[in-house]
Structure 1
Amino acid sequence: MSEANTSAKKYTSLKEFFPFYLSEHSHPLNRALHFIGSSFALGFLLGFLSTHSLWNLLAALISGYFFAWIGHFLVEHNRPATFTYPFYSFISDWIMYAKMLTGRIPKT
């Protein structure tokens, strides 16, 4: 879906938003990059919980977005939904992550 389509539709629920989110993450490499970034973010969050180092918290934030944005800008060639729907996008990323982890997301 193009950037123009992102702003044309107004999503009012996560249930309504999630299919759009998946369509914006249809390329397998983009999904893989999101999975890698989210995995690093979880690792850094665990590091933060054990050390209380704010550097780990910052690294969690950067690593999650770094890999995701590579996927959007260089692979999928679309604008991250985070810019328009930050809450729905954040939650959807973790739903997609869990589905990928458990093999419940189709490989496109």
Structure 2
Amino acid sequence: MSQYASFREFYPFYLGEHSDVQCRRMHFVGSTLVLAVIATAIVTGNAWWLWLAPVAGYGFAWIGHFVFEKNRPATFTHPLYSLMGDWVMYWQILRGKVKI
């Protein structure tokens, strides 16, 4: 059972796990590539592109954690909240609320 009763409760922990700016940058790049892969699949009408989405997203994020942040990704223990956190953080980076 999760130790967090809600995503709102989880998100401060998530941000704490992404305190290193290089880790956040890796997440941002990976998430941007996920959006590009999805757009490419839609534009080309070729769903085979979609297999790259998790490779790009998780690949860059996990490099950020293992190389820069030196911690274990929250995906391993809180997969849904972690995925939600990725996109909330992405939106906050775009809006200038989280710095990269």
The alignment yields a C-alpha RMSD, in angstroms, of 1.4
| Aligned twin of 2:78 | 85
Seq. identity, %: 48
Which residue, out of 36, 41, 45, partners 1:48?
41
| Aligned twin of 2:91 | 98
Partner SS for 1:103 = coil
Q: Unaligned stretches of 5+ in structure 2?
A: none
Note the C-alpha offset of 1:53. 2.1
Note the C-alpha offset of 1:78. 0.6
Note the C-alpha offset of 1:52. 3.1
Task: Output the TM-score relative to the length of structure 1.
Answer: 0.86
Letter in 1 for 2:73: P
CA displacement, residues 42-93 of structure 1 (integer Å, 9 cap, x when unaligned): 0001111122323310111110010000000111111100111111000110
Partner SS for 1:10 = coil
How many aligned residue pairs are there?
A: 99
Letter in 1 for 2:86: D
